[in-house]
Chains A and B, each alone.
Chain A
């Protein structure tokens, strides 16, 4: 059974701080890794993707991938109240598999 694991949270982070979201996956053959943001009652929105080991930065977001450890993370710098949402990790091997998501709450 291929799995993607995330801490369900909620993860509470003060406004302006760095939020760190983590994800582990079981399939070593996984090729592509995605982070989606989902606001309550809305559908997921793609915010980051990463294919290679290392870091990938886009604005306030940084995705980090370590294939040897089967670990992918998302860092959000200068957290804003609007970042409060559920963040879904998704991993693709032969099919895309979603984690259950981490609820992030930014404290004003």
Chain B
């Protein structure tokens, strides 16, 4: 399957700081990437759809000014959690779809802990 690389794997930060998470498609070009959040023992929650060269589409209830998404190239999307607070602590996972192939391939995830 296609390879999606996500960094960092885990990050600990102080409240009020910003954290950037990178998601790269290594062996394919991804016009669309997706960002999910998952709390312990909960289901995946889609946060936003990242489209190369255009603005991301955010799901209802997700603050676009807090979760900044940039998809500047066909292989890289970034999620920046701005002014992070302890309630933002979660497992963040990116995924990408290969062209029109509907299969989603996931990055390894980023565990964010905000102190």
Q: Tell me the A residues contacting B by CB distance below 8 Å.
A: 31-32, 34, 36, 41-46, 49, 88, 90, 92, 96, 98-101
Minimum CB–CB distance from B48 to chain A (whole Å) comes to: 12
CB closest chain-A residue, reference B92:
A43
B106 CB–A CB distance under 8 Å: yes
Pairwise interchain contact B44-A44, C-beta atoms closer than 8 A: yes
B107 contacts which chain A residues (CB < 8 A)? 43
CB closest chain-A residue, reference B97:
A96
B69 CB–A CB distance under 8 Å: no
Alpha-carbon distance A66/B6, docked complex (angstroms): 35
Chain B interface size, under 10 / 10 to 19 / 20 to 34 / 35 or more? 10 to 19
**Main secondary structure on B side of the interface with A:** loop
What would 20 more interface pairs be, CB under 8 Å, given A41-B111, A42-B109, A88-B44? A34-B104, A36-B106, A41-B91, A43-B93, A43-B106, A43-B107, A43-B109, A44-B44, A45-B106, A46-B1, A46-B103, A46-B105, A49-B103, A88-B43, A90-B104, A92-B102, A96-B102, A98-B43, A99-B43, A100-B42
B29 CB–A CB distance under 8 Å: no
Pairwise interchain contact A46-B104, C-beta atoms closer than 8 A: yes
CB closest chain-B residue, reference A44:
B106
Minimum CB–CB distance from B50 to chain A (whole Å) comes to: 14
6 closest A-B pairs (Cβ-Cβ)?
A: A100-B43, A43-B109, A43-B106, A32-B102, A43-B93, A98-B44
Minimum CB–CB distance from B2 to chain A (whole Å) comes to: 10
CB closest chain-A residue, reference B1:
A46
B106 contacts which chain A residues (CB < 8 A)? 36, 43-46
Alpha-carbon distance A42/B56, docked complex (angstroms): 25
B108 CB–A CB distance under 8 Å: yes
Minimum CB–CB distance from A4 to chain B (whole Å) comes to: 10
Alpha-carbon distance A88/B42, docked complex (angstroms): 11
A100 contacts which chain B residues (CB < 8 A)? 42-43
Alpha-carbon distance A92/B104, docked complex (angstroms): 11
CB closest chain-B residue, reference A51:
B102
A98 contacts which chain B residues (CB < 8 A)? 43-44
Alpha-carbon distance A82/B115, docked complex (angstroms): 34
